[in-house]
Chains A and B, each alone.
Chain A
Amino acid sequence: MSSQGQMDLVLDRDVRDWVLVPLTISIFLMMLIRQYVTQVFLSSNPSGGVFNPKEFREKQIMARAGLLKQTCGYLSDSAFKARKAFFIAKDTGAFHKKPEQKSAQDQLMNNPDVMTDMMKKNLGGLVPQLAMGGFVSYFFSGFIMGRIPFPLSPSFRIMLQRGVDLPSLDVTYFTSLSYYILLLFGLNGTFRLIFRENTVDESQMMRQQMAMGGGGMGPMGAPDPAKAFEAERHALEMLDYKWKLDGIEQQAAAVMQQQLGGQPKHQTPRKSPRLKSA
C-alpha cells in the first residue's frame, strides 16, 4: 500500500521486456548449467563408497560388544569370560588395538582428497554465483521491477531494494537485484520438480557447512573412534554379569507341574515366573 501522499509508480513496459524476462531466463539457464556441472563432478569421482574391511570390522565389533552387554545374562560364566577376553584382554583384546577408523579431524588432515573434494564443491557453487552476480549487477541493476501486494515495514528496504538507494520510495517496490537473489534461493522447489531428488540444494549445502564449522563434530557427526573404543572398554570392564538362568530349574519344574495338572507333591505350585526379557 502506498502511503497517502505518494502516487503509484508507472513502470515502463520495456522494463518487463528487457529486464524481467531476460533476467528470469538467464537465472534459469545458469541454474541448469550448474546442475549439470555438479552432476558431472559427482559422477566422475564416486568417493566415499569404497568398502574398507578394517573399518567395517571395527564397527561390527562395536555392535557385537553392545549385544554382549545386552544379553550376556544368557551365557554361562565361562562363555561370557571368553567373550570379555576377546574384547578387553590386555594387549590382545579388540578394544586395546588402535582403531583403524580415523576421526573426522584426522581424515581432513591426512587425506588431501577430502580437502580437494570440498574445495571443488565449494568453488563449483561459488564461481558461477559470483559470475552471475557480476553479470546481473552490470546489466540489470537499478531497475524497479514490481511491487509486493502487501505492506511491509521499512526495515525490509535493504532486502527488497538492493541497488536503488531511494529513501522516499515505498518499501513494497522491489528491484531487479533483489529479484535475482529471491529467485536464486527460491527456485529450488521448481528445480526439484524437474530433477526429482538430484537437485543441488544450495541452502542445504550451506547448512551443512555451518554445522561443520560450528561443532567439534565431523562431517558425519561421528564421534572419535579411539574414544568410542575406550568408552566401550570401560563399559565392558564395569559390566555386571549375572546369570539369568539361575533358578530356571525351579521355574521349569513349576511349569511342568502346571502342565501335568496334578497336585504338587513337595511344594505349592508357584505361578510360573517368566524369564525377564532382555
Chain B
Amino acid sequence: MTLQHLEDIREIIQARGQRASFEDLQTYLRLVRELKVRDSEVVAEYGVLLLRKFKKQLSTEEELLTTEQVATAAIDCKAFDAAFLLVTALRKRFPSSSQRTTRLVEMYFEAKGQLEKARDNYITNTLDVSPDSQYLLKRQVALEKTQDNIQGAIDLLCKYVDLFMMDREAWEELGELYLQAQMFSQAAHCYEELLLHQAHHIPYHVQYADILYTIGGSNGNNFRTARSYYAAAVQLSKGTNVRALYGLCACSAQLSGIKGSVGKDQEELGRKAAELLQKLYAARSPDKLKMVTELLKAQGLTSGASTSKAGTVLLE
C-alpha cells in the first residue's frame, strides 16, 4: 500500500491499455483515493474505463466513491464532457440536498469559469440546507479565491476557522491569504497557530520569522524574535536551510543599527551564518558565490578574510 505499489499497478494498466483487468483498475483507483495522490489525467482515463466496462462489478458504495473521484479528476483536467456525465449521474442519484454533489456541481461550474452559476448553486444549496458544512465552506473560500477576491476569501475563512479551529491546513491557507493582502500581524497570528500545531516543522519557523522581520519596527523587538526563530530553524535543519541562514544575516544587519541589542554572541551568529552561506554556495553553486559575497559585504557581515577562505574552498 505504498506509492511504489501504485506505480507498479499503473505500469501494468498502461501496458495493457484498453484490455486492463477489472482488479487492476479497481486497485489503482482505490490506492489513489487512499494515498490522496493527485494524478488527475490518469485517474480520469482509467476511471472512465472502469466505469464504462465494469460498472456492474463494483459494489454500490465503491461505485459512488469511484464516480465522485473520477468526476473530480475530470474536472481537474478540464475534461468537461466526461465530468458532466458523471456529475449529472450523481446528482440524479442524490438530488440537491447532498453536500458532496453540491460541491461537485460547484467545482464543475467553477472549472468551466461560470462563477456566477457556481455561486448560485452554492447559495441555494448551502445556506438553506447545511450552513455549517466543512466541505462547502471550504469550497466557498476557494471560489472567492478564484475570483481574486482576497478580502472576501479571508472573511469567509475567518468564519470557518472560528468554528473549525483545529484545522491546521485552514490556518495555513488563511496565513497565506493574509500575506497576499499584506496584513502581516494577522498572518503572524496564523503562523503562531501553526507553530502550536507542529512545533518542529522548519518552514513554519522560517515563515513566521520572515513575517516578524517584515513587520520590523524601530525598537528591534520583532527582529530579535525573528532571529530566534531563524536560529531555531537553523538548529532544526542542522544548518542546511539557506533561507534561515539568509534570515539570520538580515536580522543581524538590521540589529547592528539598533543600539544596545547586540551582544558578543549575537554578532558572532550573523558572521557564522554568513560564513556558512558562503561555504554552501561555494560547494553547490559557485557561479553565484560572488553575488552572495557582495550582499553579505553590504550587510557588513563578512570581511576580506572569509572571502579568501571561501575562495580557497572554491579552488579545492
Interface residues of A in 25-75 (CB under 8 A from B): 51, 53, 56-57, 60-61, 63-64, 67-68, 70-75
Identity of the chain A residue whose Cβ is nearest the Cβ of B263 in the assembled complex = A249
- In the complex, how many residues of chain A place their beta carbon closer than 8 angstroms to a beta carbon of chain B? 39
Q: Does A101 contact B (CB under 8 A)?
A: no
Q: Could you tell me the distance between the alpha carbons of A216 and B204 in the complex, rounded to whole angstroms?
A: 45
Identity of the chain B residue whose Cβ is nearest the Cβ of A254 in the assembled complex = B235
Complex contact B265–A245 (CB within 8 A): no
Complex contact A277–B200 (CB within 8 A): yes
A275/B232 contact (C-beta < 8 A), A250-B265, A253-B269 known: yes
Q: Could you tell me the distance between the alpha carbons of A249 and B264 in the complex, rounded to whole angstroms?
A: 12
Identity of the chain A residue whose Cβ is nearest the Cβ of B131 in the assembled complex = A53
Complex contact B196–A72 (CB within 8 A): yes
Q: Does B158 contact A (CB under 8 A)?
A: no
B-side contacts of A257, CB under 8 Å: 272
Q: Does A252 contact B (CB under 8 A)?
A: yes
Q: Does B197 contact A (CB under 8 A)?
A: yes
A75: contacting residue among B162, B192, B269, CB under 8 A: B192
Complex contact A79–B276 (CB within 8 A): no
Complex contact A64–B163 (CB within 8 A): no
Complex contact A68–B238 (CB within 8 A): no
Q: Does A188 contact B (CB under 8 A)?
A: no
0/1 per residue, B186-200, Cβ < 8 Å to A? Answer: 001100100111011
A contact patch SS: helix
0/1 per residue, A240-278, Cβ < 8 Å to B? Answer: 000001001111110111111000001000001011011
Interface residues of A in 209-237 (CB under 8 A from B): none
Q: Does B258 contact A (CB under 8 A)?
A: no
Q: Does B254 contact A (CB under 8 A)?
A: no
A71: contacting residue among B199, B231, B236, B264, CB under 8 A: B199
Complex contact B166–A64 (CB within 8 A): yes
Complex contact B228–A79 (CB within 8 A): no
Complex contact A256–B165 (CB within 8 A): no
Complex contact B227–A249 (CB within 8 A): yes
Q: Could you tell me the distance between the alpha carbons of A272 and B199 in the complex, rounded to whole angstroms?
A: 19
B-side contacts of A255, CB under 8 Å: 234-235, 238-239
Q: Does A76 contact B (CB under 8 A)?
A: yes
A249/B236 contact (C-beta < 8 A), A75-B192, A256-B272, A260-B275 known: no
B-side contacts of A249, CB under 8 Å: 227-228, 231, 265-266, 269
Q: Could you tell me the distance between the alpha carbons of A266 and B269 in the complex, rounded to whole angstroms?
A: 12
Complex contact A275–B163 (CB within 8 A): no
B252 to chain A, nearest CB (A): 10
A1 to chain B, nearest CB (A): 53
B-side contacts of A74, CB under 8 Å: 195-196, 199, 232
Complex contact A57–B276 (CB within 8 A): no
B192 to chain A, nearest CB (A): 5
Q: Could you tell me the distance between the alpha carbons of A277 and B198 in the complex, rounded to whole angstroms?
A: 11
List B residues at the A interface (Cβ < 8 Å): 130, 132, 162-166, 188-189, 192, 195-197, 199-200, 225, 227-232, 234-236, 238-240, 248, 264-266, 268-269, 272-273, 275-276, 279
Knowing that A63-B165, A67-B166, A250-B265 touch, tell me 18 more A-B residue pairs with CB under 8 angstroms: A57-B163, A60-B163, A60-B165, A71-B199, A72-B196, A74-B195, A74-B196, A74-B199, A248-B231, A249-B265, A252-B230, A252-B234, A253-B265, A253-B269, A256-B234, A257-B272, A259-B239, A260-B272
Sample (20) of A-B pairs whose CB atoms are under 8 Å apart: A51-B130, A53-B132, A56-B132, A60-B163, A60-B164, A64-B165, A71-B197, A76-B228, A82-B189, A245-B229, A248-B228, A249-B228, A249-B265, A252-B231, A253-B268, A255-B238, A257-B272, A259-B239, A266-B264, A274-B235
